[in-house]
């Protein structure tokens, strides 16, 4: 009986991650595809699975292309000025814009993984991402901003820590993020190495 229970949980362990991943991909695909599916069916009589998703991708590519062109930039600047005149919209839009820019913008913020000494007495350290070195506006010349993601969550906390307690980590940022979010159970790629030099060196 114990072996049956053991094999049962092993089956869950092997199939659950794959099943959840497939479900998320399927749900995302269906949700995005359905955004335009009704319009295409009602007005054009077209019902091709995936066509709505393809059109949305092409529209986003077109918007990105226009946004980076000379024609689109004045409109973007005008839109930003209008948004910044409304206090509540300014806070929400700016926060979301900075968040997305940190992941996919030209100046990515989560590409500098670091190891921070959070308790010198016990030598306890914590993995995070260096997001800002210049904190002169906070009157802090020897501190940096480090973001610490939570395990099994997409939330996190921002700490202001002394720069001499922060060490750069020579590991792929995506690998570090996966390691943190999985609470360390994902392990490391054996080909990855760490560089524990202080930022001041």
pLDDT band at 19 (very low <50, low <70, confident <90, very high): confident
Task: Inform me whether the pLDDT recorded for 185 exceeds 80.
Answer: no
Residue 190's pLDDT is: 55
Tell me the two tokens of residue 201: 């060196």
- Give the separation between CA 181 and CA 175, rounded to whole angstroms: 10
Contact 166, 115 (CB under 8 A): yes
Summarised one tens digit per residue, pLDDT across range 40-59 is 777 777 777 777 777 778 88
Burial 113-129 (b: 16+ CB within 10 A, else e): bbbbbbeeeeeebebbb
pLDDT digits (tens, 9 = 90+) for 93-148: 776 666 666 555 555 667 788 889 888 888 888 888 888 888 888 888 888 898 88
Using an 8 Å Cβ cutoff, are 89 and 79 in contact? no
Position 200 confidence tier, pLDDT thresholds 50, 70, 90: very low
> Given this model, what pLDDT does residue 198 score?
45
Q: Which residues contact 150 (CB under 8 A, 6 or more apart)?
A: 156, 157, 181
Q: Where are the domains of the chain?
A: 2-104, 113-181
Lowest average pLDDT, out of 34-43, 103-112, 157-166, goes to 103-112
């Amino acid at each position: 009986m114990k072996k049956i229970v053991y094999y049962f949980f092993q089956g869950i362990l092997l199939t659950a991650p794959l099943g959840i991943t497939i479900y998320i991909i399927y749900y995302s695909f269906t949700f995005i595809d359905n955004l335009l599916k009704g319009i295409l069916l009602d007005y054009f009589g077209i019902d091709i699975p995936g066509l709505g998703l393809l059109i949305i991708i092409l529209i986003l590519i077109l918007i990105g292309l226009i946004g980076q062109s000379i024609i689109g930039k004045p409109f973007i600047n005008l839109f930003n000025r209008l948004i910044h005149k409304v206090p509540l919209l300014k806070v929400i839009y700016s926060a979301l814009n900075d968040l997305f820019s940190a992941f996919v913008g030209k100046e990515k913020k989560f590409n500098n993984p670091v190891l921070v000494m959070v308790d010198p007495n016990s030598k306890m350290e914590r993995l995070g991402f260096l997001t800002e070195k210049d904190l002169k506006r906070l009157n802090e010349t020897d501190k940096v901003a480090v973001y610490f993601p939570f395990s099994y969550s997409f939330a996190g906390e921002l700490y202001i820590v002394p720069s001499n307690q922060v060490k750069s980590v020579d590991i792929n940022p995506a690998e570090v993020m996966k390691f943190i979010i999985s609470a360390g159970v994902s392990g490391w790629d054996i080909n990855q190495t760490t560089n524990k030099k202080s930022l001041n060196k």
